[in-house]
Amino acid sequence: MAIVNATDQNFADETKDGVVLVDFWAPWCGPCKMIAPVLEELDGDLGDKAKIVKVDVDENQETAGKFGVMSIPTLLVLKDGEVVDKAVGFQPKEALAELLNKQM
């Protein structure tokens, strides 16, 4: 499944079903750039078991504010639209896979 770029307008639709890893990021954020290839690799490993959604905090401040995102990258795990886990800062692929596997 391809990584989806969500906006304030479509975030609820993109995250309402199943297990979703949400990456709150910004183009100017160094650790966000470091985690991008990790997310691409993880997405390939996950197949259809979970979805990855990216939210640019500069362009989608309403969604970032709703979830209290204060530093980036912030990674939330949602299950059927509800936050079930969270990580802040760069995370290795194994740590992110573990977060998701707990919910699948």
Neighbours of 79 (CB within 10 A): 18
Amino acid 41: pLDDT: 97
- What positions carry a catalytic annotation? 29, 32
Asked if the model's pLDDT at residue 1 lies above 90, the reply is no
| pLDDT tens readout for residues 6-63 | 999 999 999 999 999 999 999 999 999 999 999 999 999 999 999 999 999 999 999 9
Residue 69 is classified by DSSP as: -
pTM for the model stands at 0.97
Query: Token pair of 70, please?
Result: 């204060």
